[in-house]
Structure 1
Amino acid sequence: MIKLKIKKSNFTTPIVTKNGDYQIIQFRYDGVRFRMSFDLNKIKDKKLRDRQFEIYRAEIERKLLQGWNPNENEDDEVKEVHYNSLSESLKFALEKKEGTVRESTFKDYETTVNKFIEQSNKAKLADADIKDLTRKDILNIFSSMTAKYKWSNKTYNKYLGNIRTLFSVLTEWEYIGNNICRDISLKKTTQSDFYEPANDLQLKLIKDKLNVDFSNLWDFVFFLFQTGLRPHEILLIQLKMIDLKNRVIILPKGIIKTSIKRIVPIDDYIYEYLLNKNLQNYHSDFYLFGTNRKFKNKGVSNETDLIPAADPLSRKTISKWWQRKVEIPLGIDVKLYSFKHLTANKRLEAGQSLDDVQHLFGHTNKAMTRVYATHLTNIYVDKLKQNKLSLNDMGLLN
């Protein structure tokens, strides 16, 4: 009887572990854990799959007993297959995105990963080899997440877009051969009235209320409307970004969505507003709409909040103030962000072109601008109603 020559090594006996429908061959060699699947999970016949896993497990054990070192012998008969679980892979992709996108965008990715891993755990897929996952697995996870969080189609599409991006990172780093999320269809969405702009009566009510209660907040809304900037972008404007001589505000790429700096024109109304603020009396690092309030829980006031100051205010804080000062007391459902939509509508109604609004908003294409111009169709219809062209007046008919 021929005895195997056993090389003394610190390895554990390979075993097959199961997690739902997925199986893994696991063992440790010199303290390093190895997990392998060899794409066997793709075998649909369960009995055949079980047999194949046992065959591979036994072969790995035999090779280990013969002195095989999985860290060194890449060309051996039993080739090591790197195992990357779904949860580990998504965390890796998240790490690669950090520092390449805005902090708020990265937090969106982070939230998406946490929710996705939580649901994949319940589906017993979190430990599955990322290479073994199918499009059906992703759809099942998203279906469960949609039911749990009661997502709208728009929210579903947002989270799916995040996962698609992270899977693209995994494709780039060769964790997977192709992005199985790429061809998953987005859900149909309709134009939401969530950011429906205020009508003229509501505008008067808001202005009158804030002029008495918190006029600095009305100044903030005024600045939002005139510049077309997003609320969080305005909150990050420092005085050194304001060039009154050339009448522009230069926003660095770090605080806006685009990858290049953005130049915002200062119209006559904003120019007069800024001149009255005597900005030359403040340090250039001060925020245009900052706060010098020492205690966060102290009530807001024109003396301490939304003024040139060293400390910035958060977008969340402004939203809370808007709810408390406007939405709740006036009983109107007008969001602060809707003033960006109002800007687009009013400028088009005043005769400015879609190109003008696109440039003001810093959009890369008109499709993005049309999202904000909620009254665009009505504006075009009204213009067409005023048509002065008649075939009868062109001398073509008697």
Structure 2
Amino acid sequence: MKTKWEGPFIYEPPNGDLDKDWLVWIKYQHPVTGKLERFRYNVGFKQYNTKQERREHGKALKIVLEDLLAEGWSPYNEYDVFAVHTNKNVVSLIDQYLEEVKGNIRSSTYKKYKIELNSFKNYLISNRLYNLELDEVKKATVLNFLNVQKNARKWKGKTYNHYLNDITTFFNYFHHNYDDYIEKVPTLSLKRAPIERPGNTAFNDWQFKKLKDLMLDNNDQMLYTFCSFIYYAALRNEAEGNYLKAGDFNFTAKTLKINSGTAKNRKTEYIPIYPDFMELLLELKVPEIPGDYYIFGKESRQKFVIGGPLPVGQDYFARHFRKYKEMLNLSERDGIYNYKHTRAVHLGEDGEDLYKIMKLFRHKDLATTMIYMRDLGINVQNTEFNKGRRF
């Protein structure tokens, strides 16, 4: 018997253009004329902002259509293919949860939740579990998802735990806020993955100089400038450096404001601007940039500038720095964040006052600074080890 349909097929615009329609389409035989007619489905694509996310969504949508067609569904049927048939369906509740918490959490946290939960959703769909209700989810389902992703994407323990924690938060949300949705959160008894804690690492003098030379030789001025900001201001690169605004700098008081929304301790703090850093800021004409513009910004999807209305992507600089790491055969854990620790080493070696280092690095007390410097191999007490006898 001849099949009544062709497909489904995923359509991706040329070059993966995110501004154009992505869709899944099928051809289905008209019940009267017998001709194959095309039907397009683009539901859900626009909520994803990367090619990879849209490709995964397309695969998930394709699976749903394949199952419906195999069960005898026809696009001529008078019901919505993608209608939610139960308000306790996990796949639909993930969308509901993301919508309900969107205005109540930081944008960076929301973005993280969205990536992680949509990954879980696509896993459920690809395994034909899209009709699974919330109270039917077993811990084995979540555990299998985590292990599959861990092996496929080579997760570290920290990433594994982030996904587990945020999936648990999702279940807890409906457990605490909705009656009769879920009696017991299935993930509470799952064990967290062990985390390797390698400690703080600074670049040695050769690495520090070589990295600077490589960036300048490759005319990678934006990355070079970003690394210098991390170094001078002792910033966390992705969480703080990416979101610096021109208005955060007070050129009269010679301070930089670290906003509570990006600071690790969730408190607004002010750090001193050292003379070398001030010289760089003036060279970049930061005082002339509108206060609400990001220092490391962009004017469009591909145009990156010093001073722009939009921030660069969170991992933009980390991705660009990777090639220099490979050139110097640095370890996987080495990265732009090392510049913060390198700053501490240089200040310690140059005899800077511990209190000033404490202020720059935003430590709660001098004891914390002393421990931090000791872990970096700096002799903060300037003790001379010269006693003993020759062998």
Q: Using structure 1 for the length normalisation, give the TM-score.
A: 0.59
**Equivalent pair of 2:345/2:376 in contact (CA under 8 Å):** no
Partner of 2:255: 248
1:200 corresponds to which letter in structure 2?
D
Partner of 1:199: 204
Q: How far is the alpha carbon of 1:160 from its aligned partner?
A: 0.8
**Equivalent pair of 2:174/2:182 in contact (CA under 8 Å):** yes
The alignment status of 1:91 with 2:82, answered yes or no, reads no
1:224 corresponds to which letter in structure 2?
I
**Cα separation, partners in 2 of 1:34 and 1:307, compared to 1, 3 Å:** closer
**Equivalent pair of 2:142/2:187 in contact (CA under 8 Å):** yes
- In the aligned structure 2, how far is the partner of 1:98 from the partner of 1:306? 29
Partner of 2:280: 273
1:103-114 aligned within 5 A: 103-114=107-118
The count of aligned residue pairs is: 299
Q: How far is the alpha carbon of 1:224 from its aligned partner?
A: 0.7
Partner of 1:14: none
1:1-398 aligned within 5 A: 84-121=88-125, 125-174=129-178, 175-192=181-198, 196-212=201-217, 213-215=219-221, 217-232=223-238, 233-256=240-263, 259-290=266-297, 296=302, 307-308=306-307, 312-323=311-322, 326-327=324-325, 332=330, 334-344=334-344, 346=346, 360-361=360-361, 376=375, 378-379=377-378
**Cα separation, partners in 2 of 1:183 and 1:377, compared to 1, 3 Å:** farther
Gaps of 5+ in 1: 1-31, 36-82, 298-304, 389-398
Partner of 1:15: none
2:335 corresponds to which letter in structure 1?
K
Q: How far is the alpha carbon of 1:202 from its aligned partner?
A: 0.9
**Cα separation, partners in 2 of 1:357 and 1:209, compared to 1, 3 Å:** same
- Structure label with greater radius of gyration: 1
**Cα separation, partners in 2 of 1:200 and 1:282, compared to 1, 3 Å:** same
- In the aligned structure 1, how far is the partner of 2:353 from the partner of 2:93? 47
2:168 corresponds to which letter in structure 1?
R
Q: How far is the alpha carbon of 1:101 from its aligned partner?
A: 2.8
Q: How far is the alpha carbon of 1:111 from its aligned partner?
A: 1.8
Q: How far is the alpha carbon of 1:156 from its aligned partner?
A: 1.3
2:249 corresponds to which letter in structure 1?
I
**Equivalent pair of 1:348/1:376 in contact (CA under 8 Å):** no
**Cα separation, partners in 2 of 1:323 and 1:129, compared to 1, 3 Å:** closer
- In the aligned structure 1, how far is the partner of 2:213 from the partner of 2:175? 55
Q: How far is the alpha carbon of 1:360 from its aligned partner?
A: 4.2
**Equivalent pair of 1:225/1:342 in contact (CA under 8 Å):** yes
Q: How far is the alpha carbon of 1:208 from its aligned partner?
A: 3.0
1:342-374 residue CA offsets vs partner (Å, 9 max, x unmatched):
3455556677899976764557899x999x959
- In the aligned structure 1, how far is the partner of 2:328 from the partner of 2:88? 54
- In the aligned structure 2, how far is the partner of 1:162 from the partner of 1:136? 17
User: In structure 2, the residue corresponding to 1:157 is in which secondary structure?
Assistant: helix
**Equivalent pair of 1:341/1:373 in contact (CA under 8 Å):** no
1:104-149 residue CA offsets vs partner (Å, 9 max, x unmatched):
3222211211222233345555433322434344323323333443
**Equivalent pair of 1:85/1:129 in contact (CA under 8 Å):** yes
- In the aligned structure 2, how far is the partner of 1:356 from the partner of 1:377? 17
- In the aligned structure 2, how far is the partner of 1:352 from the partner of 1:183? 49
- In the aligned structure 2, how far is the partner of 1:332 from the partner of 1:320? 14
**Cα separation, partners in 2 of 1:286 and 1:142, compared to 1, 3 Å:** closer
**Cα separation, partners in 2 of 1:130 and 1:214, compared to 1, 3 Å:** closer
Q: CA RMSD in A?
A: 4.4
1:265-324 residue CA offsets vs partner (Å, 9 max, x unmatched):
3233323333444444444444434467x8948xxxxxxx65345564434443344345
- In the aligned structure 2, how far is the partner of 1:99 from the partner of 1:236? 19
User: In structure 2, the residue corresponding to 1:250 is in which secondary structure?
Assistant: strand
2:210 corresponds to which letter in structure 1?
L
- In the aligned structure 2, how far is the partner of 1:139 from the partner of 1:365? 41
User: In structure 1, the residue corresponding to 2:186 is in which secondary structure?
Assistant: coil
Q: How far is the alpha carbon of 1:203 from its aligned partner?
A: 0.8
Gaps of 5+ in 2: 1-82, 387-391
- In the aligned structure 2, how far is the partner of 1:214 from the partner of 1:384? 38
Q: Using structure 2 for the length normalisation, give the TM-score.
A: 0.60
Q: How far is the alpha carbon of 1:339 from its aligned partner?
A: 1.7
**Equivalent pair of 1:345/1:375 in contact (CA under 8 Å):** no
**Equivalent pair of 1:252/1:262 in contact (CA under 8 Å):** yes
2:109 corresponds to which letter in structure 1?
T
User: In structure 1, the residue corresponding to 2:295 is in which secondary structure?
Assistant: strand
- In the aligned structure 1, how far is the partner of 2:189 from the partner of 2:363? 27
1:234-255 residue CA offsets vs partner (Å, 9 max, x unmatched):
3432222211111222244445
1:273 corresponds to which letter in structure 2?
L
**Equivalent pair of 1:217/1:306 in contact (CA under 8 Å):** no
